[in-house]
Amino acid sequence: MSPEKNNAGDFLRPETVSRLANMELRARLIVEGFIAGLHRSPYHGFSVEFAEYRQYNAGESTKNIDWKIYAKTDRYYLKVFEDETNLRGTLLLDRSASMDFSGDFSGDFSGGGITKLRYGALLCAALSYLMIKQRDAAGLALFDDRIGEIVPHRSTRHHLFRLLSSLENVTPGGRTGISRALHDMAERIHRRGLVVLVSDLIDEPEEVISGLKHFRHRGHELVVFHLLDPLELSLDYGGEVTFVDRETGEKLRSQPYFVRREYRRSVGAWTSYLERRCLENAIDYNLVTTSTPFDEALVKYLGKRGRMR
């Protein structure tokens, strides 16, 4: 019997990646293993980089003919250029207390599931690594009901270490206030670019949309990762359970079996509403869970970004 082959994706399960030695190693594994080279900028024409030569065809513009090559070969060749990314990416990571939640979604590893905050930090780390690898300028803001730490935009490798350090050390904050934080951050970013929000979006839906629209009004491209634990979607608990609000400490004892159907209907309506409102405002909405392999989350994002050129 031949040995069973390992799927490369098995090594990017969130619980596996989260155990690696340091944030740089985790980010590099996610990016270089699966999605390096897929990133495309939403903006073009800021600057260009020489790619190759090709033979001139009659009727084409002569603007890019290389006359030095013509002098040597007596043939016309055009310089072919390709767009060079000139992107400013702002990563917004929700660190409110509600993000400090995990469920053991697989049952096949010790230590329980990865929290939403931990998953979000790793996702932002991978995006930071990818942006800077592509010579984009990456910035970061952490928030709960207000903006906390801000790491300004830079595109150097040294700056990457600062971003990864902030993400490595992020801790849960206070109550959720997504709309307030989004409006605040939208006023702080003066140059248009790409804004990536990673949050569980547990706030009044229309206020969340209002905050997101503020970025669109200022000319930014916007991508939202709506991050939830699988149990927040399914309520797939057994027996009697005591639920604790991580932001208020309020407790509720219940038997999920009796409310599961209505709960799932309500959650489905909530996520569908957010998706529809984002679509109406040209905002890229992605629902992911903490059990989603990182390569799947990023490939989904990068594929959509490629179509938004």
**DSSP string across 273-307:** HHHHHHHHTT-EEEEEETTS-HHHHHHHHHHHHHH
Coil, strand or helix at 136: coil
- pTM reported for the whole predicted model: 0.75
Tell me what the mean pLDDT of segment 166-184 comes to.
92
Model confidence band, residue 82 (pLDDT cutoffs 50, 70, 90): very low
Q: Which of 33, 58, 83 is the endpoint of a domain? A: 83
pLDDT at residue 201 above 90? yes
Same domain, 52 and 133: no
> CATH number for the domain including 275?
3.40.50.410
Q: Please, are residues 77 and 66 in contact by the beta-carbon 8 Å criterion?
A: yes
Query: In the chain, how many domains are there?
Result: 2
Q: Which domain holds residue 101?
A: 8-41+86-307
Beta strands across the sheet bearing 284-289: 147-154, 137-143, 88-94, 194-199, 221-228, 284-289
Residue 1 domain flag: no
Between the CA of residue 103 and those of 203, 240, 296, what are the distances in Å? 21, 16, 20
Model confidence band, residue 13 (pLDDT cutoffs 50, 70, 90): low
Same domain, 192 and 58: no
Q: Report the C-alpha gap between 138 and 276 in whole angstroms.
A: 28
Same domain, 166 and 181: yes
Same domain, 150 and 272: yes
Residue 303 domain flag: yes
Same domain, 59 and 208: no
- Cα 148 to chain center, whole Å? 19
Model confidence band, residue 79 (pLDDT cutoffs 50, 70, 90): low
Tell me what the mean pLDDT of segment 143-157 comes to.
92
Same domain, 95 and 73: no
Q: Which tokens in the block code for residue 13?
A: 């399960």
Q: Which of 83, 104, 138 is the endpoint of a domain? A: 83
Q: Please, are residues 296 and 287 in contact by the beta-carbon 8 Å criterion?
A: no
Residue 127 domain flag: yes
Q: Please, are residues 218 and 189 in contact by the beta-carbon 8 Å criterion?
A: yes
Write down the H helix ranges in the chain.
14-17, 23-30, 67-73, 116-133, 157-168, 178-188, 205-217, 230-234, 256-280, 294-307
Same domain, 73 and 160: no
pLDDT at residue 172 above 50? yes
Same domain, 67 and 199: no
Same domain, 202 and 73: no
Look at residue 90 in the predicted model and tell me its pLDDT.
95
Same domain, 149 and 61: no
Residue 3 domain flag: no
Q: Report the C-alpha gap between 128 and 142 in whole angstroms.
A: 14
Q: Please, are residues 76 and 70 in contact by the beta-carbon 8 Å criterion?
A: yes
pLDDT at residue 125 above 50? yes
Coil, strand or helix at 240: coil
Sign of the C-alpha dihedral, residues 177, 183, 189, 193?
A: positive
Look at residue 19 in the predicted model and tell me its pLDDT.
54
Same domain, 54 and 193: no
The percent of residues above 90 in pLDDT, for the chain, comes to 43
Same domain, 240 and 281: yes
Q: Which tokens in the block code for residue 154?
A: 């830079």
Question: With b meaning 16 or more CB within 10 Å and e meaning fewer, what string describes 267-283?
Answer: eeeebeebbebbeeeeb
